[in-house]
Structure 1
Amino acid sequence: MTQRFDADDLARAVTAGVLNPGQDHALLAFLRAHPSARPGFQLANVAFYFGALLIMGAMGWLLTVAWMSIGDGALLAISLAYVVSLTLLALNMQRRSQPVAAGVLAAVAVGIVPLAVFAVQRITGFWPFGDGTPDFQHYYRYVQGQWLLMEGATVIAGLLMLRVVPFPFIVMPMALALWFMSMDISQYLYGSDLSWAQRHEVSLWFGLALLLVAVVVDGRTRKDYAGWGYLGGLLAFWGGLTAMDSGSELGKFGYCVINVALMGLAVLLRRPVFMVFGALGVATYLGYLAYDVFAESLLFPLVLTLIGLGVIALGLAYQKRRERLTERLRNCLPNALAQALPALRR
Structure 2
Amino acid sequence: MTERFQATDLARAVEAGVLQPGQDRALLAFLRQQPAATGNLQLAHTAFYFGALLIMAAMGWLLNEAWLRVGDGALLLVASLYILFITLFALRLQRRAQPVAAGALAAVAVSIVPLAVFAVERLLGWWPLEDTQSNYHQYYTHVQGGWLLMEAATILAGLLMLRLVPYPFIVMPIAVALWFMSMDMSEWFFGSPFTWEQRREVSLWFGLATLLVFLVVDGRTRQDYAHWGYLAGLAAFWGGLTLVDNGSELGKAVYCLINLVLIAMAVLLRRPVFMVFGALGVATYLGYLAYEVFVDSLLFPVVLTLIGLGVIGLGLFYQKRRERLSQWMRGRLPGWVQVALPALRS
Q: TM-score, normalized by length of structure 1?
A: 0.85
Counterpart of 2:149?
149
Counterpart of 1:336?
336
Counterpart of 2:262?
262
Contact 1:217–1:226, Cα closer than 8 Å, also in 2? yes
How far apart are 1:51 and its partner, in Å?
1.2
Superposed CA offset, 1:24-70 (max 9, x none): xxxxxxxxxxxx99999612111111111121122125545234421
Q: Tell me the SS of whatever aligns to 1:70.
A: coil
Residues 65/101 of structure 1: CA separation in 2 closer, same or farther (3 Å cut): same
Counterpart of 1:205?
205
What are the residue-to-residue correspondences of 1:1-346 with 2, within 5 Å? 42-61=42-61, 63-296=63-296, 308-346=308-346
Deviates more, 1:244-253 or 1:62-71: 62-71
How far apart are 1:293 and its partner, in Å?
4.0
Superposed CA offset, 1:300-319 (max 9, x none): 66665555555444444333
Deviates more, 1:294-303 or 1:188-197: 294-303
- Distance in 2 (CA, whole Å) between partners of 1:129 and 1:305 is 52
- Distance in 2 (CA, whole Å) between partners of 1:59 and 1:236 is 23
- Distance in 1 (CA, whole Å) between partners of 2:49 and 2:264 is 30
Superposed CA offset, 1:114-157 (max 9, x none): 00000000000110121434321211111000000000000000
| Percent sequence identity over aligned pairs | 69
How far apart are 1:200 and its partner, in Å?
0.5
- Distance in 2 (CA, whole Å) between partners of 1:49 and 1:90 is 13
Superposed CA offset, 1:258-278 (max 9, x none): 111111110000000000011
Counterpart of 2:33?
none
How far apart are 1:190 and its partner, in Å?
0.6
Higher relative contact order, structure no. (Cα contacts within 8 Å, ≥ 6 residues apart): 2
Counterpart of 2:14?
none
- Distance in 2 (CA, whole Å) between partners of 1:229 and 1:212 is 10
Uncovered stretches (5+) of structure 1, i.e. residues with no partner = 5-35
Uncovered stretches (5+) of structure 2, i.e. residues with no partner = 5-35
Residue 84 of structure 1 aligns to which amino acid in structure 2?
Answer: L
Superposed CA offset, 1:191-227 (max 9, x none): 2221001100100000000001111000000000000
Residue 108 of structure 2 aligns to which amino acid in structure 1?
Answer: V
Superposed CA offset, 1:159-181 (max 9, x none): 00000100100000000000000
- Distance in 2 (CA, whole Å) between partners of 1:39 and 1:276 is 22
- Distance in 2 (CA, whole Å) between partners of 1:99 and 1:57 is 22
Contact 1:39–1:45, Cα closer than 8 Å, also in 2? no
- Distance in 2 (CA, whole Å) between partners of 1:296 and 1:279 is 26
- Distance in 1 (CA, whole Å) between partners of 2:253 and 2:280 is 14
Residues 296/328 of structure 1: CA separation in 2 closer, same or farther (3 Å cut): same
Number of residue pairs aligned between Structure 1 and Structure 2: 314
- Distance in 1 (CA, whole Å) between partners of 2:192 and 2:88 is 43
Contact 2:103–2:167, Cα closer than 8 Å, also in 1? yes
Residue 262 of structure 2 aligns to which amino acid in structure 1?
Answer: L
Q: TM-score, normalized by length of structure 2?
A: 0.85
- Distance in 1 (CA, whole Å) between partners of 2:330 and 2:201 is 30
- Distance in 2 (CA, whole Å) between partners of 1:89 and 1:306 is 49
Residues 39/222 of structure 1: CA separation in 2 closer, same or farther (3 Å cut): farther
Residues 40/164 of structure 1: CA separation in 2 closer, same or farther (3 Å cut): farther
Counterpart of 1:24?
none
Residues 321/58 of structure 1: CA separation in 2 closer, same or farther (3 Å cut): closer
Contact 1:37–1:99, Cα closer than 8 Å, also in 2? no
- Distance in 2 (CA, whole Å) between partners of 1:241 and 1:84 is 39
Contact 1:63–1:75, Cα closer than 8 Å, also in 2? no
